[in-house]
Chain A
Amino acid sequence: MNDRRRLILLCVITLLPVGFAAAENCLEVVADLSHPYSIGWGIDQANHRLQHDTQISRDNVGSLELAWVYGLSSDKPRSWPLVTKDTIFIGDTGNGVVALDRDTGRSPHEGEIGSAILMGKVNDQEVLIYTDRSAGLFAVDARDGKPIWHGQVDDQPVPLYSGTPLIHEDLVLVPISSAEIGLPLNPFYGCCTTSGGMAALSLADGQTRWFRPTIQTPPVRTGGHWLLVDEYGPSGAPVWGSPTLDRNRGLIYFGTGQNYSQPTTDTSDAIFAVEVQTGEVRWHRQFTSGDAYNLACDVSSDHPNCPKPSGPDVDFGAPPVLVRSQKGEDLVIAGQKSGEVHAMRPEDGALVWSTRVGRGGALGGVHWGLAANEALGLVFVPISDVAARSGPGAPRPGLFALDIATGEIRWERSRTARCADRVCAPGLSAAITATRDLVFAGSLDGFLEAYDANTGEVLWRHDAWRGYAAINGVPAEGGAFDAHGPMIAGDQLIISSGYNTFGQKGGNALVAFRLPGSAP
């Protein structure tokens, strides 16, 4: 009899005299929080997005079958699950954090959970760490969802906690972007004064240990527009993606976005290396200069708050990946919305190689995340190439495998539009996830596919552009795959389908696939 069955039996015996109320408490104890399948947004802290802990392989992926669907409450779900031995934690906007397979873990927090969910330990007790996009960082008891602390960064007036934090020792490293990307839509807003940054909060109590703004120069008035509103700069350089940990060097790496106003800085569209304990900048390297943009430019380039000149909005949304090449050389590899992938030396940021893969644009190029397989010497690059402030040339939506050491394209798998019954956007915007011999990617036109990591051959496909019968009774609809992408855990593949933030097809289906014959 295994431990779980022993606990259930113990609960049943205990239940007899103490009644139904005790039953709930007992079931809470049964939830097994051991064996988490990820320790960060990148599954590992180097952001490889490579799942070793799975039975899904090239040989059996073709038999993956739909196991169950959970109906989420948002049609643009933006949370990534944490999977433990027997529990799946997922942010379900409106319902807070829910723990599937058990009724425990329901949090009283009901904001827009914008990140993956992490697990850490406070006073020997497992806590879930996640962000609400506007309200900050939350730590809740993993067993019952009770709040432990709520942290915010006070250094900026309108921070957005959009990226997934990273837990390292007693710190929670939190990427900070800013609502100022959208506030300039209001022509009466004096654009712009905030800086993106990286914050380190105490895992024990959520207090800020350090905050490193990506723009050190204080903003000053730079002029005014015809509505008699003052203009300010520099601003922007937000951090949208999770940091990447380099344990050996004591560094974290992260990418920044564009400036929100003129003048621009040399820290926008850049990769930073920062000392993890102090927040001191070791180096930063800019890849696109002069990129000033905010959402007012999407209304019109004549909008009074659109910077003049405005830029292409080609930030680094995807976290960098720290890899070791087959020659034993460490590299920081970063994919940019420009459609380029860059490799740098971790010591000083010196450029080793740079490869243009896609046409690029405001929605990628590389949008959410790469994956890497050091054993194969490959970094996998999903290209969106949605038409939005696009770069030059023809779009190249699809999946590419680049040689880690040289940046040469080893294979590519273009995706073509299927316009008859769906939005003509075949690209890969969502982050991807790899295994030892596979790469899983969800497309904007609703296909979830498994590629052979060695050749790019598509070995399995699921069309999510459909309705599902959900286990929780909520009408569930699939749609575009975007945002955090697939999670692989043991014999399971879990992914949210639907995301209508930028005109894609919305949906609310959390879909789980499983190898046949494996235990639930």
Chain B
Amino acid sequence: MSDHDRPLAGRGRRLLASLIDACLVPALTVLLILVTGILESAEAYRDQMWVAQVLGLSILGYLMLNGYLLWSRGQTVGKAMLGLIIVNSETGEQASIWRLILIRAWFFPVLFLTLAPPLTILPLIDLVPIFFGRRRCLHDFLAGTMVVTRE
């Protein structure tokens, strides 16, 4: 069976996979913050550079956790646990690594930074399209991807 023929991932499984990633990536980011010590010194807060540094570490954490899986199987850890795969929305083949890394990998850490009001609305906007058609979030449209089941 080609990836194009695989059934679309259910919204509940996608949500669960995202929640797993949303726990693992920040946890690893926290570990990286500890190891690098970027928040330990008062100097880090002198010109608000710590915001960019934390963002950079969260992207690094995302890639450390999911980079190999994305490259080899089109999956994050959460999606692998739930049997989901990210594919090219036009061909149905495994999405190319540049779509997964350069677009999707940036998207999630940025979304984490929007947890503070009033930016919280942005992740909700991202979610709206999943309730239509091919269950693609806004970031799926931007990356040209969709999520299907592995079976």
Q: Which A residues fall within an 8 A CB radius of B?
A: 157-158, 179-180, 183, 186, 188-190, 192-194, 227-230
Chain A nearest CB, measured from B50 CB (Å): 10
Chain B residues numbered 2-59 whose CB sits less than 8 Å from any CB in chain A? 30, 33-34, 37, 39-43, 45-46
Q: Is the CB of A158 within 8 A of B45?
A: yes
Chain A nearest CB, measured from B22 CB (Å): 20
Q: Is the CB of B39 within 8 A of A188?
A: yes
A454 to B88: give the CA distance in the assembly, Å.
84
A194 to B42: give the CA distance in the assembly, Å.
8
Q: Is the CB of B34 within 8 A of A183?
A: no
Given known A188-B33, A188-B34, A228-B34, contact A158–B40 (CB-CB < 8 A):
no
Q: Is the CB of A189 within 8 A of B43?
A: no
Closest Cβ neighbor of B46 among chain A residues: A157
Given known A188-B33, A188-B34, contact A229–B40 (CB-CB < 8 A):
yes
Q: Is the CB of A157 within 8 A of B42?
A: yes
Report B-chain residues with C-beta under 8 Å of the C-beta of A180: 42
A254 to B28: give the CA distance in the assembly, Å.
46
Report A-chain residues with C-beta under 8 Å of the C-beta of B30: 188
Count how many chain B residues have C-beta atoms less than 8 Å from C-beta atoms of the other chain.
11
A194 to B37: give the CA distance in the assembly, Å.
18
Given known A227-B34, A228-B34, contact A186–B46 (CB-CB < 8 A):
no
Chain A nearest CB, measured from B91 CB (Å): 44
A229 to B33: give the CA distance in the assembly, Å.
11
A331 to B46: give the CA distance in the assembly, Å.
39
Report B-chain residues with C-beta under 8 Å of the C-beta of A157: 41-43, 45-46
Main secondary structure of the interface of A (DSSP, over half): loop
Q: Is the CB of B39 within 8 A of A186?
A: yes
Closest Cβ neighbor of B38 among chain A residues: A188
Report B-chain residues with C-beta under 8 Å of the C-beta of A190: 37, 40-41
Report B-chain residues with C-beta under 8 Å of the C-beta of A193: 41-42
7 A–B contacts from the bound complex (CB under 8 Å) = A157-B42, A158-B46, A183-B45, A188-B39, A190-B40, A190-B41, A192-B42
Report B-chain residues with C-beta under 8 Å of the C-beta of A230: 40
5 closest cross-chain pairs (CB), A and B: A190-B40, A157-B42, A188-B39, A157-B46, A157-B43
A251 to B37: give the CA distance in the assembly, Å.
42
A315 to B37: give the CA distance in the assembly, Å.
31
Report B-chain residues with C-beta under 8 Å of the C-beta of A228: 34
A189 to B33: give the CA distance in the assembly, Å.
10
Which of A158, A188, A227 is in CB contact (< 8 Å) with B42? A158
Q: Is the CB of B42 within 8 A of A183?
A: yes
Q: Is the CB of A189 within 8 A of B40?
A: yes
Report A-chain residues with C-beta under 8 Å of the C-beta of B46: 157-158
A192 to B33: give the CA distance in the assembly, Å.
18
Report B-chain residues with C-beta under 8 Å of the C-beta of A192: 42
Chain B nearest CB, measured from A192 CB (Å): 8
A229 to B36: give the CA distance in the assembly, Å.
11
Chain B nearest CB, measured from A176 CB (Å): 13
Chain A nearest CB, measured from B135 CB (Å): 38
Report A-chain residues with C-beta under 8 Å of the C-beta of B43: 157
A179 to B37: give the CA distance in the assembly, Å.
19
Chain B nearest CB, measured from A156 CB (Å): 8
Q: Output the residue of B33, B39, B42 with the most chain A CB within 10 A.
A: B42
Report A-chain residues with C-beta under 8 Å of the C-beta of B45: 157-158, 179, 183
Closest Cβ neighbor of B33 among chain A residues: A188
Report A-chain residues with C-beta under 8 Å of the C-beta of B34: 188, 227-229
Report B-chain residues with C-beta under 8 Å of the C-beta of A179: 42, 45
A180 to B44: give the CA distance in the assembly, Å.
12
A190 to B50: give the CA distance in the assembly, Å.
14
A189 to B42: give the CA distance in the assembly, Å.
8
Report B-chain residues with C-beta under 8 Å of the C-beta of A189: 39-40
Closest Cβ neighbor of A228 among chain B residues: B34
A180 to B43: give the CA distance in the assembly, Å.
11
A230 to B34: give the CA distance in the assembly, Å.
11
Closest Cβ neighbor of B43 among chain A residues: A157
A188 to B46: give the CA distance in the assembly, Å.
16
A10 to B116: give the CA distance in the assembly, Å.
54
Chain A nearest CB, measured from B27 CB (Å): 14
Closest Cβ neighbor of B42 among chain A residues: A157
Closest Cβ neighbor of A154 among chain B residues: B46
B91-104 contact mask (Cβ, 8 Å, vs A): 1 or 0: 00000000000000
Report A-chain residues with C-beta under 8 Å of the C-beta of B40: 188-190, 229-230
A180 to B34: give the CA distance in the assembly, Å.
19
